Structure 1
Amino acid sequence: MAKAHVLVLPYPAQGHVTPLMELSHRLVDLGFEVTFINTEVDHALVVAALRASSGGEAALGGGIHLASVPDGLTDDEDRKDLNKLIDAVTRHMPGHLERLIAGLEAAGRPRAKWLVGDANMGWSFEVARKFGIRAVSVWPAATAALALNLKIPKLIEDGLIDDKGLLRRQETFELAPGMPPLHTSQLPWTNAGAPEGQRIIFFDLITRNNKLNDLAEMTVANSFHEAEAGASKLFPNILPIGPLSADRKPVGNLLPEDGRCIKWLDGQPDRSVVYVAFGSLAIFDGRQFQELAEGLELTGRPFLWVVRPDFTPGGLSKAWLDEFHQRVAGSRGMVVSWCSQQQVLAHRAAACFVSHCGWNSTMEGVRNGVPFLCWPYFCDQHLNRSYITNVWRTGLAVSPDVDGIVTKEELRTKVEQVIGDAGIKKRARLFADVARRCVREGGSSYENFNRLVNLLSE
């Protein structure tokens, strides 16, 4: 007998699409029918990237149907403007989702029984309830990040923040024993890379989602118990089912992968390559970009660097960039616009991961036992950096100078420290073993995933 039809809805950003797509593949493998709902903009990017990489939507796998709804913004509006995106998504997408659900039924698709929705899209659980569709909430980041959100009343009571999420005290705190220490200036909503007014909107979204999440019958997270024992003890009802992976199936990339880098890695010695990637949202100005580039050269090590087309908007000399590419071409370095990060980190040549510490990247590095050099950009990435450097001790962090710049000398020094530290490498390898055991039969994430499957099978 066929299993239920499940709607899957991520927040419109790569770091949210990827884990929900990985979860979708797992559900399809178990016989569920999945309709994966992106915004129209992200849907077009995913389909274009699939066609460029492997020939079309069919490459996703027969059980995943791709669907899309408008996000409420016009084509020329900036979707990196947090204020505009949050406002448009929360005001316009509920109605569009309702019409999509009604349209699927009218077209003869099986009636959806479940919505597996991103916890950051809490309004979708209200939409699901209107249609009699049951809901599961997916938290795509660290359990500790959700714990911070849920403990906002306590942070207000303790006088760390006010009722708008703005700082009242500058200090380092721990939410609970075993959780990573964090400075109040690095709370996700105070460090959202946006002006104060937009940070308040982000904070309001979090507090609304905290209440809407109660409409879901289960909350699962892309984490594992042994990585976050303190957070799991604080909120035992948040079930870690990770680290999620898609076993080389497409994960809904918004940019085409450059497969040449895997062949380039094949030609490098074991544990020799510095892999550098800052996710889908980080932006570097021209000065920082140049320091990073020259720092990679200074290491004298082969490097693979992911530079998105919008990574450094304006201010960079094309002549300088062309000269840099010529200097590092061949065995010294390779620059790509996007890649299969899972394959890169699983490659025997990967020695060190210079990362923004987005949670997907963190879990992918952990799962493959690659030591980190942490360079967080915003939001929850500082929390993830604290896990890596203070709790797991599987990496180090860069230290910006008085102008906020990570210099080329700082990068070279820290890369050498990470690669040369036998303790970091040993802990990274052991932690990878723990992560892999969690998702195998009998592991904590394996058992939690079965609880999810049993619920979706009701």
Structure 2
Amino acid sequence: MAMARNTKFQIAMYPWFAFGHLTPYLHLSNELAERGHKITFILPEKTQSQLQHLNLHPTLITFHPLTIPHVDGLPPGAETASDVPFFSHHLLATAMDRTSDQVEAALRALKPDFFFFDFPYWAPALASKLGIKSIYYSAVCASAVAHHPPPGRQVSKDSTLTTDVPPPGYPSPTVVLRSHEAWMVQFLFAPFGEGVNLYQRLTTGMKGCDAISIRTCQEIEGPFCDYLASQYGKPVLLTGPVLPKPLPTPLEDRWAQWLGGFKPGSVIFCAFGSQNFPGKDQFQELLLGLELTGLPFLVALKPPTGAATIEEALPEGFQERVGGRGVVHGGWVPQPSILSHPSVGCFVSHCGFGSMWESLTSDPQIVLVPELPDQILNTRLLAEVLKVAVEIDKEQNGWFSKESLCRAIRSVMDEESEVGGLVRKNHAKWKKTLTGQGFMSNYIDNFVQQLQQLLDKK
């Protein structure tokens, strides 16, 4: 029996244990709660305290903590991707899969209308058994999702997935992984949990769900979304960027005072998300590249792999040379607030999906230093399709030099630069579109209507 229109939904959400997934799921939860829907957010127990401040509707958004099962090789107390190095993420995936009994018990008690998920590939079968609609909600770009070959296509480590040639029918000749980046794709086929690799994990979830949903918009990634809908034969629902509304709290004094000491548009801000920088050598090359620009810079990075602190990873004599014009901070910083400061003129980013949207809706010029495959695809979208950013040149082994970083920054910061003028013009156009009155709220309203239509098909 079809439900009445304007029904308030009961929703359960279970994202991958990484803040790049947990946070966007919570941002979406806030938007849905603002419209009166009730959400139960399933997450690791200790992670609740780290996300509680982002819950803007605690009467409608309830955290349901899980106990993370023991997995041999996973450090005690590890609950998120930030707690373990990248090469141990497959163990965290095993831990997530071992929570299925806890998740089933929660769903039986909650009886939600929808179950949103991404990495737990068993979610659609569980939801179907309990009479719940399952929504594969991607917190990464549509172009990355579209790189997973559609159902029925033969795939192997030697397939066209890892070459300069996109899959047949793929909607973009530029948003692809280059042949020398093929090694980055190999983790798709490496074990990612017990008896499953990442490729199987993601495509099984998309094959089995009732609808695929993506945190993107038609204006930016329309061809990729249409491609997915045709290949998977099911609705692809878009939520828009789902960026949090700016908080009224001012920038912390230490950052406001430091940034205020430089002229408008002169400071480089560099941040690469919540995970560790891959290695000390590249970490130092990054800092030396920033030093080489001669411009003031603020770097917010975790210590690189193999270093306990930021201080021990700094290049020799670095602090003495840069003095007060360069700050390297190993803790959290309020990225949106820093990007909105008038002194910041360039954002050097890894181009994680959240940072991608934040960069597009801010004024600073964009230089991209991607590491993971989805970040590379985000980067190609911004640099080669939208032409709002510059991607750093890398060697065949994936490394970059201080000279290439300096060159990329100078290309967008120099007033006389032709490249800088082009990306500045395009960036301004897209910022105006994305921040226009009603743009994001209209996406959420339409998304809610599509959920209702999906529920009415019972």
How much does 1:21 deviate?
0.9
Measure the CA separation in 1 of the matches of 2:412 and 2:210.
42
- Compute the RMSD of aligned alpha carbons: 3.6
Measure the CA separation in 1 of the matches of 2:298 and 2:452.
42
Measure the CA separation in 1 of the matches of 2:326 and 2:309.
25
Match of 1:54 in 2: none
Aligned 1:316-395 pairs, distance under 5 A: 318=312, 320=314, 324-325=318-319, 328=322, 330-333=324-327, 335-395=329-389
Aligned mate of 2:297, from 293, 300, 303:
303
Instruction: Specify the SS of the correspondent of 1:271.
Output: coil
How much does 1:423 deviate?
0.8
Contact residue 175 and residue 380 of structure 2 kept, 8 A: yes
How much does 1:133 deviate?
2.7
Match of 1:31 in 2: 36
Contact residue 40 and residue 64 of structure 2 kept, 8 A: yes
Aligned 1:28-427 pairs, distance under 5 A: 28-43=33-48, 45-46=50-51, 50=53, 61-73=58-70, 75-76=75-76, 78=84, 80=86, 81-90=88-97, 92-102=98-108, 105=109, 111-151=110-150, 153-154=152-153, 156=154, 161-162=155-156, 165-167=157-159, 171-175=163-167, 176-178=170-172, 180-183=174-177, 185=179, 191=184, 197-198=190-191, 204-236=197-229, 237-248=235-246, 260-262=254-256, 264-309=258-303, 313=307, 318=312, 320=314, 324-325=318-319, 328=322, 330-333=324-327, 335-401=329-395, 404-420=398-414, 421-427=420-426
Measure the CA separation in 2 of the matches of 1:114 and 1:369.
40
Q: Deviations over 1:112-142 (max 9, x none)?
A: 4233423322322333333333322211111
Contact residue 122 and residue 212 of structure 1 kept, 8 A: yes
How has the CA–CA distance of structure 1 residues 200 and 123 changed in structure 2, closer, same or farther, with 3 Å as cutoff? Answer: closer
Measure the CA separation in 2 of the matches of 1:324 and 1:263.
22
**Residue type of the alignment partner of 1:84:** L
**Residue type of the alignment partner of 2:389:** G
How much does 1:261 deviate?
2.9
Contact residue 275 and residue 302 of structure 2 kept, 8 A: no
Q: State the aligned residue count.
A: 427
Contact residue 296 and residue 303 of structure 1 kept, 8 A: yes
Instruction: Specify the SS of the correspondent of 2:435.
Output: helix
Measure the CA separation in 2 of the matches of 1:235 and 1:427.
27
Contact residue 272 and residue 350 of structure 1 kept, 8 A: yes
Segment of structure 1 superposing worse, 422-431 or 169-178: 169-178
Instruction: Specify the SS of the correspondent of 1:144.
Output: helix
Measure the CA separation in 2 of the matches of 1:193 and 1:407.
24
Measure the CA separation in 1 of the matches of 2:313 and 2:178.
42
Measure the CA separation in 2 of the matches of 1:264 and 1:328.
14
Structure 1: gaps spanning 5 or more residues: 51-56, 106-110, 251-256
RCO comparison, higher one (Cα < 8 Å, 6+): 1
Q: Deviations over 1:205-242 (max 9, x none)?
A: 43344233344333221111111132133234322222
Match of 1:449 in 2: 447
Segment of structure 1 superposing worse, 1-10 or 23-32: 1-10
Provide the identity percentage: 22
Measure the CA separation in 1 of the matches of 2:100 and 2:276.
28
Instruction: Specify the SS of the correspondent of 1:138.
Output: strand
Q: Give the TM-score normalised by structure 2.
A: 0.80
Q: Give the TM-score normalised by structure 1.
A: 0.80
Instruction: Specify the SS of the correspondent of 2:408.
Output: helix
Instruction: Specify the SS of the correspondent of 2:184.
Output: coil
Instruction: Specify the SS of the correspondent of 2:148.
Output: helix
Structure 2: gaps spanning 5 or more residues: 1-5, 79-83, 230-234, 415-419
Measure the CA separation in 2 of the matches of 1:166 and 1:244.
36
**Residue type of the alignment partner of 1:207:** Q
How has the CA–CA distance of structure 1 residues 126 and 262 changed in structure 2, closer, same or farther, with 3 Å as cutoff? Answer: farther
Segment of structure 1 superposing worse, 366-375 or 319-328: 319-328
